[in-house]
A and B are shown apart, each in its own frame.
Chain A
Amino acid sequence: MADSLDLTRRRFLGAMTTGMTGLALSRLLMDDFGVVVPPGAHFAPKAKQVLQIFCPGAASHIDLWDHKPLLDKYDGTPLPGPIEVTFQGKNGNLMKSPWAFKPAGQSGKMISSNLPHMAQHVDDMAFIHSMTSRSNTHGPACIAMNTCFTREGYPSSGAWVSHALGSLNENLPTYISVQDTRGEPPNGKANWGNGFLPARHQGVSMAAQQALRNLGRPANITLAEDDATREFLRTTNTEHAEAHRGNDELRARIAAYELAAKMQLAAPEVSDLSREPEHVHALYGTRDKNPLKAAYAKNCLLTRRFLEQGVRFVSLYCASRASNVDGLLNWDAHRTLKADYDRHCPVFDQPTAALLADLKQRGLLDDVLVIWCTEFGRMPTHQVGTTGRDHNPDAYTTWMMGAGVKGGMSYGATDDFGRRSVKDVATCYDFYATVLHLLGLNHEQLTYYHNGVNRRLTDVHGHVIKPILA
C-alpha cells in the first residue's frame, strides 16, 4: 500500500520537477547574495567526500594508538619534573596502560589489544601522533577540533566543505551529523554548526535512533491531503511569483518546497537498514546484545549508506558529552580508566572496523577521506586518588585513511611517556589544511567575510601535512 502510494507520489514530484526545465532544483536556492553557486575546488581533488569519526571525551592516545613502552617500565614512578596541576587537579605517578599493545598488519604498527578489529586496518591508516590542542576543556576543544576555534560561532569543517563544494545529491542534506544514541558531544550542535556561513551549510542531525527533524508527514494527515495541500500551495505561490517578477526569492522558496518533498522520499529510503542483508548486519554488529554497540553499529551502517548516496560530509559520533557520571557517557576516563575503556572500546571497535572494511570493499575509499578525531589526549600519570587520567591538551593522536592518504604510516611523535608532542608537532589547523588539500581546496584561499575579517577554517595558521599524502 505504502509502496504504491509512494510510486504515485514519485510521478507527481517528477512532473513538478520538469517544470523547472531540468535545472537542478538546488540551483534555485538563494541566500543573501543571490543564486547559490559553490565556489568549487581550487585544484584537482583526491577526495570528494569526508567521513569524520569523532570519539568525544578525549580518547586516550596512550591507551589506544600511541604505544609507549617506557610507560610500562616506569609505571608507578613519578613523571620527571614538578608535579603538575591539570584540569581536575593534581597528578600522581606514571600509570601504564591497562592493555598490552600488539603489532598489527604488514607495517607492524603497535596498537592497543583492546581494539582487535581496528588493528586490521592499520596498513591503510596514517596516524598523526603529535597533535596539540589550545584548550584543556572538552567543549572548547571539541569545537576547536571541528571549527579550529575554541569559542562558538565559527563554521564547522563540514559546513566549510558544504559551502566550498556544495551537494552531490540534492535529495539529501549535504552535511549530516550522526549523533550517538547517548546524546550530543560536548558543546552540542556548535560542533556541526554553520557559524556565520548561511544556515543551509549546517550539519543536519540524522541517526538510526533519530530521523531528520520535521521530515515526516504529520501523523493525522493522509498522503492525499498532504499532496493536495502542497499542490494548492504551489499554485498559489506560482501565481504570486508571476505577479511579482524580479523577486528571485519567491521562486527559490517554491523550489525549496519541491526539494523538501523529494527529501521526504529519499531520506527514509536511505535510512531503511532493513534493506541490508543479514551478513552485513552481522559484520557491523547491529544485532549485538550490548545495546550501545548495536546502536552505534546501526549508525555506522547508516553512515555507509549516506556516503554511498553521495552525502558530502558525514560526522559520526561514538559517545556523547560529559556528565556527572564520569567516563560513562564518553571517553573521559578521569577515575576508572580500565572500567571505562572496557565499556567504550567494544562499542567502537567492531562497528567502526566493519564500516571501514565495507567502504573499502565497495570502492568508496577511492572518493571518501576518513578522518578520526578526538579533542585532546590524556595524561600518562594517574589523577591523584584515582585510577584514571586527567586531560592532556599537549599530546594526542588522530588518523586519516582513504582517498589520497598514504596508509601504514605514522607522522609525528610524543615524548617517551606521551606527555607532550615533540616531533613534527601538529595542530587542528594543520589537520584541516590537509583535509581541505585532499578535497582540492587551498586552505588559505577558502575565505568568507564576517564582522571585519575574511575568515578561514584554519584561522591564520596551518600547513598541509605532506608526508601523509599518497
Chain B
Amino acid sequence: MRILLSALLLAPLVTAAADDPASVAFFEQKIRPVLIEQCYECHSTKAKKLKSGLYLDSKAGWQKGGESGLPTIVPGKPDEGLFLRFVRHLEPDMEMPPKKPKLPDAVLADLTAWIKMGAPDPRTESTSEVKRADKSWWSLQPLAKEFKHAEIDGFIDAKLAERKLSRSAPAKPQALIRRLSYDLSGLPPSQAEVDAFVVAHQADARQATEALVDRLLASPRYGERWGRHWLDIVRFGESNGFERNVIVDDLYPFRDYVIRSLNDDKPFDQLIREHLAGDVLGKFQPEIEIGSAFLVAGPYDNVDNQDSVAQKVIRAATLDDMVTATGGAFLGLTINCARCHNHKFDPIPTEDYYRIRAAFEGVVHGRRTLATLEQTKAFNAAIGVLNQERGKVIAEQAELTKAIEAKAKALLAARQYPRPKVDSLLTEEKITTVAARYVKLTISATSASPLTGVGGRISEFEIWTDEPTPRNVALASNGSKAAGVKGATAEDFPAAYSAALTIDGDEGAQWYIGRPAELVITLPRVEQINRLAYRTAKGRVLRDNSQGPTPCEYEMFVSLDGKAWKKVADSYDRAAWSPAHAFERVRKEATTPEVAQRLAQLGPQLAAVDKQIAAVPKLPSAWVGIHQPKPEATFVQKGGDPAKPAGQVVPASLSVLDLVTPHYTLKANADEGERRVALANWITKDNPITARVLANRLWHYHFGTGLVDTPSDFGFMGSQPTHPELLDFLAQRLLKHGWKVKALHREIVLSQTYLQSAEFNADAARADKHARLLWRFPPRRLSAEEIRDTLLATAGELKLEPMGGPGFRLYRYLSNNVSTYIPLETQGPETYRRAIYHQNARASIVDVLNDFDLPDIAFASPKRANTTTPLQALTLFNHSFTLDMAKAFAARLNGPDPIGQAYSQALQRRPTAVERSAAEKLIARYGKPAFCRALLNSNELIFIE
C-alpha cells in the first residue's frame, strides 16, 4: 500500500488553500483511503451502526463533530481536535480504530500533515461518496489554449512561489553534462567532452548548453535511449509468455523501427498510426508495416487447448492485451477495466470496451513476409523458373517409380508372410535356446518411415531365460547395461530419452532412437536364452498415438564376446507394416538397371535444383501479425465471460471523448484494416488526451516523475497533475511542433527548471521532499540499462556497432514443450552491446538488469520501480560480469597516473587526495582490479544530479 510507505513524501506542507489541486491530490491519495479503510465502518452513512454520531465521510460530517460536542478536526491545528488524539492513542480507552493496532507512523504523519494544511476536503455530499469520474473529469477536457505564461519556467515558478519556494541556482557544468548525456543518450560523457563543455560553458553557458543538447539529440544514441522508454510503454517482449513462453526471434525489427523512428524524429501521431495500422497505411513498405507489430508484441497463450470454452477464453485474453496496450500507451485510459462491467471509476461503459476490441478482432499473432513490391516481384520471378525445373525432375521420378510399383505389386502378390505384423504393445521372438552375453537389435524401418529406424521409440526391451521360471535378464536391476544413441535430448534432464529407459522395468518413458538405430544389451554373465521382445507402447493396456513410431523392420543378434554376432531373428517373414513397407522389401528386385541408373541421375539433379532454390534469398519476414480480412462479429461478454455473449457491437470510438473529438462508427462488417485505420485516426487527430499523455511521458522521463505521476492512467484512479496548465501548455507545444518530440525535448531541457542544480535544501525539502514542484532538479539513480551500459563504457568494452539486428542473450534458452531461460554465469564479449539490444524474453532471469528494476514485461511498464535491495548489491559485487568489467577497466589504466585515469573514466573528475591515498593502498595490496571493482559498485557512478 503505497499510501502507507510514504512517511516523508510531501509530509508537512505549509498551509495551503484547501481547494488547490495539489492539496486535493494529497487528500485523495493519502487521506481518503485511510478514512475509508479505517473509519467508515463506524463513521459513515454506510455504517451498520453509527458510533458517537460522528460522520467522517463528508467534510460537513467532521465539521459538525460527534456527540461529545468537542471539535473533531481543527484545520491548521493538529494539536487540537479529538480525531488526531484518538488515532494517536493519546486518550486511554478511546484508541482508534478500536481493537486494531495503532496506525503506522507514516499514516499518522500524513493525517497530521493534512490537518496542518488546513484539512482540505473536497467531499461535499454527505450521503454518497464521489467515487468515480464523469465526463467532466479533468483529463477528458479540451486542451487549454490560452496560458498565463509563455515558457515552462513561468508555470513552475508560479507554483513554487505559492509555496514560498524558489528554483535553485543553475547546475554546475560538470553535473549538467552528465545529467544531459544520460538523459538524452543513456551513456556517460567522456572526460574530454566534460572538459570541453566546462570551458565552453564558462564562455557562454546558453550557447554551450544548446550546442550540447543539439549534439545529443542528433546522435543515434538518442534513439537507443528514448526507444527503450517507448518499448516499456508498449509492453515490448520477445517471447510469448504464459506456459510455453516460446522465444520470438524476429520481433527485433520492431525494436529497430522504434529506435530509427525516434532518431528520425518521426512525428508521433504518425508513429501511433503506424503502430495500429502500419500494414494498411504502408503496404509493401516494410519500414512502415513493421510498426503494426505493436499489436502482437504482447504476451499471448499459444498452448494447444482442445477444450472449446478454454479456446474462447484464451482468444478473449489475447485481444484484451491489445485493448489494454492501446488504451494505456496512447490514451492513458484503463479501457481494460471495462471488460467485465462498466468501468468502476471512469466514464467508460463496457460496450465501449468491445467497440475498441472490434478494431482488433481480426488480428492474430504470428509472422509473415515483410517485403517491398519490387522484392516480392523479383523473388517470385527467380523462384518461378527454378520451381518449373524442379517440377520436371519430380514428374520423371514419379513416372519411373510408378513402373517400379507395378512390378513390385506383382512380386508381392507371389510372396507369403506367415507371421503377424509387429505389435506396438509387444513384439516377441521365440528362438532356439542359445547362450548369450550380448544381444543386439538393429532397426531399419519404423511405422513412420520404411527407410530408417531413426526416430522410432522403444519403452522396454526384454531377454528371457530358458528356465522353469523364466527371468527377464535384460533388466538394469539384474545388472545389465543398455547402449544406444538417443535421438532427442532435454538439456536440463539428461536421463530423458536414453537407451537405459529400455531396461528400467517401466513401460512409461521411452528410448528415442538415434543414429545408428541399434540397441546393444550387455548381460552381467552368460545366460541361456530363448525369447526376445520389445515394446513401444507406454503401458500395456491401451494403444495411444502419442507413443511415437514403432520399429517394424529389424534383425536380432546374440554374441558371447560382443564381436562375433549370430543372427537369431528378423522381421522379414512378418506381414509388412504397410503397403509402403512391403514395397521397400521388393524395391530392388523390381527395379531394372536402366531405371536404377536414371533414378541415380535424377537424385543429384533434384538436389542441385533444391540447392539453387535454397540459395535464392528468402523474402524477409517478421513477427508482425496476421490479419483476417473479415473478422468474427464482436459481442459484449457479460462479466468478461466469452460463454455469455450479450448484444453485438460495431467498431467505434470511445463515447467518453465525444465532446472533445469527433466520434466514429463503422459498419459491423467493416474491413479489418479499415477498423484499425479508423481507430488510429481517432486517437491521433484532434484528440486532446493523446497529446497530453505523450507530453507527460516526456516530462516523466526528463524529471523522474510526470506532472501526472501515473503516466498511463489519467483516469480517476490515477493522479491529478501537479501543474495542470503546464501540462496543457506542453501538449499544445507538441502539436505546434507537428508531434515531433525532439523540439519539445529541447524546450524542456533548455528550461531553467531543468538546468537548475540538484543541490539539497533542507527548508525546501521540508515542504516538498521529492521536489515534485521542482525547487531543485531531482537527482536519480541510473536505470538498469544505463548501469550495464555504463559498466561496459567505463571498462572500454561497449560496442556501439552494429546498431540493431538480432538481440544478444544473457540466458541460455532451453525448449522442451515449454521454455526455460537459464541465466548465464559468464557474459561473453558478444553481449557487450547496449542493453536495449538484449533479447527481451518474458519471465527470464537477467542478472544485473532485473536486479535494477528492468521489469518483466507481462504488462506495459510506463513507470519503472526504483528499489534498493541487498540482492542488487550481491549481484553487482559478485557477478562475473562486474569482475570481467573490473579487469578490463584495470587493463585500461596503463598511463602514468592510473588512479587519476580511473576517476576520470568512471566519474569524469579528478580524485581527492584522500581518495587517491585510499586507492593507492588498495591497489598496492590487491591490484587494480579490486580498486576497479569498488569503483564500479560506487554510488557516484550510478547516481546523477
Contacts and interface: CB of A to CB of B under 8 A. Distances in A.
Interface stretch (A210-218, A398-406, A413-421): A210-218
A30 B868 contact: yes
Contacts of B866: 31-32, 249
Interface stretch (A1-9, A35-43, A298-306): A35-43
B874 A263 contact: yes
A225 interface: yes
Contact of B931 (A217, A232, A237, A321): A232
B99 A322 contact: no
Given A213-B847, A216-B878, A263-B870, A452 B538 contact: no
Nearest to A187: B243
A452 B939 contact: no
A324 to B, nearest CB: 5
Interface stretch (A84-92, A101-109, A120-128): A84-92
Interface residues of A, number: 111
Contacts of B915: 236, 239
A225 B493 contact: no
B820 interface: yes
A139 B242 contact: yes
Contact of A229 (B6, B542, B873, B926): B926
Interface string A256-267: 110110011000
Contacts of B193: none
Contacts of A240: 938-940
Contact of A387 (B541, B871, B945): B541
Given A89-B306, A249-B943, A451 B243 contact: no
Contacts of B847: 213-214
A98 to B, nearest CB: 11
B243 A140 contact: yes
B446 to A, nearest CB: 18
A367 B868 CA distance: 30
A386 interface: yes
A429 B493 CA distance: 35
A453 interface: yes
B333 to A, nearest CB: 8
Given A241-B939, A449-B717, A229 B760 contact: no
A451 to B, nearest CB: 6
A117 interface: no
Given A34-B5, A137-B303, A229 B818 contact: no
B878 A39 contact: no
Nearest to A90: B306
Contact of A152 (B538, B821, B858): B858
Interface in A431-456: 445-449, 451-454
A229 B922 contact: yes
A255 B1 CA distance: 23
Given A246-B760, A386-B539, A449-B717, A30 B867 contact: yes
B483 interface: no
Interface in B813-841: 816-818, 820-821, 823
A138 B307 CA distance: 14
A198 B243 CA distance: 24
A229 B933 contact: yes
A263 B873 CA distance: 11
Interface stretch (A61-69, A308-316, A325-333, A345-353): A325-333
Interface in B670-707: none
Interface residues of B, number: 117
B869 A256 contact: yes
Given A37-B7, A151-B858, A449-B2, A247 B760 contact: yes
Interface in B924-945: 925-926, 930-931, 933-935, 937-940, 943, 945
B492 to A, nearest CB: 6
A256 B538 contact: no
Contacts of B4: 37, 39
A188 interface: yes
B843 A136 contact: no
A360 to B, nearest CB: 29
Interface in A195-222: 195-196, 198-200, 204, 212-218, 221
Interface in B840-888: 842-843, 845, 847, 850-851, 853, 856, 858-860, 862, 865-875, 877-880, 883
Contact of A213 (B823, B883, B918): B823
B878 A217 contact: yes
Contact of A322 (B507, B818, B926): B818
Given A34-B9, A41-B101, A263-B870, A213 B875 contact: yes
Contacts of A184: 820
B918 A235 contact: yes
Interface string B231-253: 00000000001111100000000
B545 interface: yes
23 contacts: A31-B868, A85-B307, A87-B310, A188-B820, A199-B850, A199-B853, A229-B933, A230-B934, A237-B938, A237-B940, A245-B760, A248-B8, A253-B868, A253-B939, A256-B873, A323-B817, A325-B509, A327-B508, A328-B496, A328-B509, A335-B544, A336-B508, A452-B712
Given A186-B818, A214-B875, 19 more contacts: A30-B868, A31-B5, A32-B867, A35-B8, A152-B299, A188-B821, A204-B871, A218-B883, A232-B922, A246-B762, A250-B943, A256-B868, A256-B872, A260-B873, A324-B816, A327-B508, A339-B507, A387-B541, A454-B717
Interface of B: 1-2, 4-9, 37, 99-101, 104-106, 241-245, 299, 301, 303, 305-308, 310, 313, 317, 328, 334, 337, 345, 488, 490, 492-493, 496-497, 506-509, 538-539, 541-546, 710, 712-713, 715, 717-718, 760-762, 765, 769, 779, 781, 816-818, 820-821, 823, 842-843, 845, 847, 850-851, 853, 856, 858-860, 862, 865-875, 877-880, 883, 914-915, 918-919, 922, 925-926, 930-931, 933-935, 937-940, 943, 945
The 9 closest A-B pairs by CB, nearest first: A139-B243, A153-B858, A246-B760, A452-B334, A260-B873, A152-B858, A259-B870, A339-B508, A385-B544
